[in-house]
């Protein structure tokens, strides 16, 4: 049995896994509060809300029976994009801010493992991004209703899969944040996102008879490595299917979620290993 004293002075007695979870959730809650006060977060949220409202004006250019479709198309594009931008920017800055402000030096000497600290940071940021997506979805719903549209189960599935993608990008950003400085972390995370979104194109080029990837051995090797270490993020983009009115099967959603969360777990483990060995002091 051991004790853990929170910032409010409350002493909790926990043991084993329960004690570890308590510390993780304490860090997550603190991360959620800190990120929620971040002007960058509110700036991105406000920009996304304005863009969704702008889609109302944009829909005036469409035919009468296409107004709701245009708003729907715009929302399916802008919400995932802003969520990914938030994950990249805040994820890249997450650990750097703790080190820059010297708060990490005060936290780690306490009875908390580095892995617990990092998992708490990841959990807190993922929670914040979930709240952001929910807020944007509610704003989008209002805009859709204004143009005679409505939320459908297919749209809900599209938003769920986009959030799985955001969780993956957050884990990638945290990995690079544990490895390097914010600018490089952001650039590398964006690179993973872009490669993941066009990985199917890269696979086609590798299989083509005439392309730089098939004709140059070095480029072929690089392409194979990229396909191995970066997942196919187009898996989480079902906007076309939604706009065409097609059903997204439950087995596809389940498989895509398992695929994304497995990759997220892999990058999280890599981030934990890097952070455990990083010389911070």
| Residue-wise pLDDT tens digits, 49-102 | 777 777 666 666 555 556 677 778 888 888 888 889 889 988 888 777 776 666
Q: What is the mean pLDDT of the chain?
A: 80
**What residues contact 127, with CB distance under 8 A and at least 6 apart?**
28, 32
**Domain ranges in the chain?**
15-277
**What residues contact 130, with CB distance under 8 A and at least 6 apart?**
163
Read off the pLDDT of residues 219-252 as tens digits, 9 standing for 90 and up: 778 878 888 888 899 899 888 888 777 888 999 9
Please report, for the chain, how many H helices and E strands are present, in that order: 12, 2
Q: What's the pTM?
A: 0.82
d(CA 214, CA 205): 7
DSSP string, 232-248: -GGGG--HHHHHTT---
Burial class (CB in 10 A: 0-12, 13-18, 19+), 125: buried
Read off the pLDDT of residues 148-190 as tens digits, 9 standing for 90 and up: 777 788 888 999 999 999 999 999 999 998 888 888 999 999 9
């Amino acid at each position: 049995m051991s004790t853990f004293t929170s910032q409010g002075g409350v002493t909790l007695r926990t043991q084993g896994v329960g004690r570890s979870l308590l510390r993780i959730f304490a860090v997550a809650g603190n991360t959620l509060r800190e990120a929620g006060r971040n002007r960058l977060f509110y700036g991105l949220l406000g920009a996304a809300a304005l863009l969704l409202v702008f889609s109302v004006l944009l829909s005036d250019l469409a035919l009468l029976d296409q107004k709701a479709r245009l708003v729907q198309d715009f929302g399916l594009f802008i919400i995932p994009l802003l969520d990914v931008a938030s994950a990249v920017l805040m994820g890249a800055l997450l650990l750097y801010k703790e080190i820059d402000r010297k708060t990490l030096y005060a936290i780690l000497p306490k009875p908390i493992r580095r892995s617990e600290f990092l998992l708490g940071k990841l959990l807190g940021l993922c929670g914040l991004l979930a709240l952001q997506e929910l807020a944007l979805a509610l704003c989008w719903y209002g805009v859709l209703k204004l143009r005679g549209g409505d939320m459908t189960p297919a749209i809900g599935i599209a938003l769920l899969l986009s959030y799985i993608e955001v969780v993956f990008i957050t884990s990638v950003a945290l990995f690079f944040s544990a490895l390097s400085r914010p600018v490089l972390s952001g650039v590398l995370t964006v690179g993973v996102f872009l490669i993941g979104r066009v990985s199917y194109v890269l696979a086609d080029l590798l299989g083509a008879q005439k392309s730089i990837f098939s004709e140059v051995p070095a480029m072929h090797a690089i392409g194979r490595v990229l396909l191995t270490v970066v997942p196919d993020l187009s898996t989480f983009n079902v906007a076309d299917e939604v706009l065409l009115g097609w059903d997204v099967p439950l087995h596809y959603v389940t498989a895509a979620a398992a695929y994304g969360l497995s990759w997220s777990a892999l990058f999280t483990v890599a981030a934990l290993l890097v952070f455990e060995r990083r010389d911070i002091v």
